[in-house]
Amino acid sequence: MEVTYIDFMTSLHKKTQRDYLARDNAFPKAEAAKRAKLWAYDYWDGSRDTGYGGYRYDGRWRKVAEAMAEHYGLKPGDSILDVGCGKGFLLHDFTEVVPGVQVAGVDISEYALANAKEEVKDRLQLANARQLPFADGSFDLVISINTLHNLPCFDMESALREMQRVGRKNRYLCVESFRNEEEKVNLLYWQLTCACFFSPDEWLWWFERAGYQGDYSFIYFE
């Protein structure tokens, strides 16, 4: 199996209007990043300056779940792991799109897990992407959306190898990237938690180095 580009995320990403300069100037950026990287209230439900500005369930992930379910042929009894699941909104939508599917999620945010969607809360646990608490080949589909770029460089290979290890069939990840200097500057203006900034070719180098075999896509800040 080779890595394959497939985009489940751009349409959702582009629904958010972003004023990059305002984001950079409205609040001291270093302080905003410090608060965001605690992965607590400020990041999830505080001001837009320090994170999502209120990350509440609104059904936005359902179309992503539907697209993935169709593409991967998910059926009742199949198992899905979300690495960096946050409050579990996407996993919840998977359970509605494919009744009977088995879901699990991990995240490093105690706050997100404590405030997760009640319907899937008991299937989420605290863990780091670099060391997943599951046996080899545990899941039919392993996904990670907008998470791995928050890891320090020295954890990237381990995280990719872990996604490969615990998946037995399909894998998909989405990370932030840039194709030109304009997009790189916009990413730097907008981001609060990113630790790794890579071009598409550099991401592909990481995939090859870690032996990641699966699907991927990139988010660009145009």
pLDDT at 28: 87
What CATH class does 4-16+61-219 carry? alpha beta
- How far is it, in rounded angstroms, from Cα 77 to Cα 98? 9
pLDDT at 15: 66
The count of residues in the chain is 222
> Which band of pLDDT confidence, cut at 50, 70 and 90, is reported for residue 1?
low
- State the DSSP code for 172: E
* 11-35 confidence digits (pLDDT tens): 777 767 777 666 666 678 899 999 9
Q: Which of 9, 1, 18 is nearest to 190 (CA)?
A: 18
CA distances from 82 to 22, 144, 182, 190 (A): 32, 6, 31, 24
List the structure tokens of 16.
């958010």
* 174-207 confidence digits (pLDDT tens): 999 999 999 999 999 999 999 998 999 999 999 9
Instruction: Measure CA 156 to chain center.
Output: 14
Share of the chain above pLDDT 90, in %: 87
Collapsing DSSP states into helix, strand and coil, what is residue 68? Answer: helix
* Mean pLDDT, rounded, for 42-63: 95
Which residues are bridge partners to 142 per DSSP?
81, 171
Q: Which of 123, 72, 64 is nearest to 94 (CA)?
A: 64
* Ranges of each domain in the chain: 4-16+61-219
* 116-170 confidence digits (pLDDT tens): 999 999 999 999 999 999 999 999 999 999 999 999 999 999 999 999 999 999 9
CA distances from 209 to 10, 160, 172, 202 (A): 26, 9, 17, 11
- How far is it, in rounded angstroms, from Cα 44 to Cα 46? 6
pTM of this prediction?
0.94
- How far is it, in rounded angstroms, from Cα 209 to Cα 220? 23
Place of tokens 């169709």: 70
pLDDT at 83: 98
Question: How does the average pLDDT of the chain come out, rounded?
Answer: 94
pLDDT at 10: 79
Collapsing DSSP states into helix, strand and coil, what is residue 170? Answer: strand
* 100-116 confidence digits (pLDDT tens): 999 999 999 999 999 99
Angle between helices 153-166 and 200-210 (to 10 degrees): 60
Exposed, middle or buried by CB within 10 Å (0-12, 13-18, 19+), for 161? Answer: middle
pLDDT at 20: 67
- How far is it, in rounded angstroms, from Cα 219 to Cα 128? 22
